[in-house]
């Protein structure tokens, strides 16, 4: 069991992220991560209204990979003010005991979305292949989304089916509610 952290532990975060989760944030994150200590506490602070879920997954995979590579280093998440959408995806890569939020922070979890027009033209077998490709894309995206949801609820009082249901309507949680449900370790 890891010791619970307090506000002083987050006084000078090694990595500070804010804004849209995009390629620019990823480059800043990778640069800051490369200069972070390889042992001890490394706080990763984020405030975001969302962005690209695949960029969030890339950042999260870096957290997962480096946590395994450097077991003497404790990478800890600190959400400030807003942890929406891709921010919650990123948070899911941190072990529950390494997730913290500040007072008043809101977390928003929702399903992935797609906007796509399908234009069918040509031989019928080609039309079927185009439709099947779109269905495959949607099914793969749902599987990826649900993997993240499963990581997010691990060790909490929320089960995956409840989260999937709530995510269809953009589920907003206040910091204390997220803590009471066990999605984060503590509110600072």
pLDDT at 91: 98
Q: Is residue 133 in a domain? A: yes
Handedness of CA 7, 22, 144, 107 (dihedral sign): positive
DSSP SS3 for 77: strand
Q: How high does pLDDT run on average in the chain?
A: 96
| pLDDT tens-digit readout, 24-67 | 999 999 999 999 999 999 999 999 999 999 999 999 999 999 99
At residue 1 the predicted structure's pLDDT band, cuts being 50, 70 and 90, is: confident
| pLDDT tens-digit readout, 71-94 | 999 999 999 999 999 999 999 999
> How far is residue 88's CA from residue 21's CA, in Å, rounded to a whole number?
11
pLDDT at 159: 95
Q: Per this entry, what is the length of the chain?
A: 188
For the cut 90, the answer to whether the pLDDT of residue 2 exceeds it is no
Q: Is residue 69 in a domain? A: yes
- Of the candidates 16, 184, 24, 32, the one whose C-alpha atom is nearest the C-alpha of residue 105 is 184
- CATH number for the domain harbouring residue 83: 3.90.226.10
Give the residue numbers spanning the domain of 148.
Answer: 7-187
**Global confidence as pTM:** 0.93
Cα distances from 174 to residues 19, 46, 129, in angstroms, run 19, 16, 44
Give the HSE-up count for residue 180: Cα atoms under 13 Å, Cβ half-sphere.
5
Please state the domain count of the chain.
Answer: 1
Helix (H) or strand (E) holding 186: strand 186-187
Q: Is residue 1 in a domain? A: no
Q: Is residue 125 in a domain? A: yes
Q: Is residue 14 in a domain? A: yes
| pLDDT tens-digit readout, 147-161 | 999 999 999 999 999
- Return the percentage of the chain with pLDDT > 70, whole number: 100
Q: Is residue 64 in a domain? A: yes
| Region 167-184 average pLDDT | 97
Least confident of 19-23, 117-121, 143-147: 117-121
For the cut 90, the answer to whether the pLDDT of residue 173 exceeds it is yes
């Amino acid at each position: 069991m890891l010791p619970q952290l307090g506000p002083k532990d987050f006084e000078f975060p090694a990595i500070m992220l804010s804004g849209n989760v995009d390629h620019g944030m990823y480059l800043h994150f990778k640069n800051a991560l490369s200069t972070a200590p390889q042992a001890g506490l490394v706080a990763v602070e984020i405030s975001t209204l969302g962005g690209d879920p695949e960029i969030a997954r890339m950042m999260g995979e870096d957290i997962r990979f480096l946590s395994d590579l450097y077991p003497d280093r404790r990478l800890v998440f600190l959400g400030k003010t807003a942890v929406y959408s891709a921010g919650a995806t990123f948070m899911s890569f941190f072990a529950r005991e390494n997730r913290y939020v500040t007072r008043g922070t809101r977390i928003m979890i929702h399903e992935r979305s797609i906007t796509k027009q399908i234009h069918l033209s040509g031989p019928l077998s080609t039309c079927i292949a185009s439709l099947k490709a779109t269905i495959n894309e949607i099914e793969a995206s749902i599987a990826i989304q649900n993997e993240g949801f499963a990581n997010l609820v691990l060790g909490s009082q929320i089960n995956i089916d409840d989260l999937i249901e709530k995510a269809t309507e953009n589920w907003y949680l206040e910091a204390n509610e997220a803590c009471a449900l066990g999605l984060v370790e503590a509110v600072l």
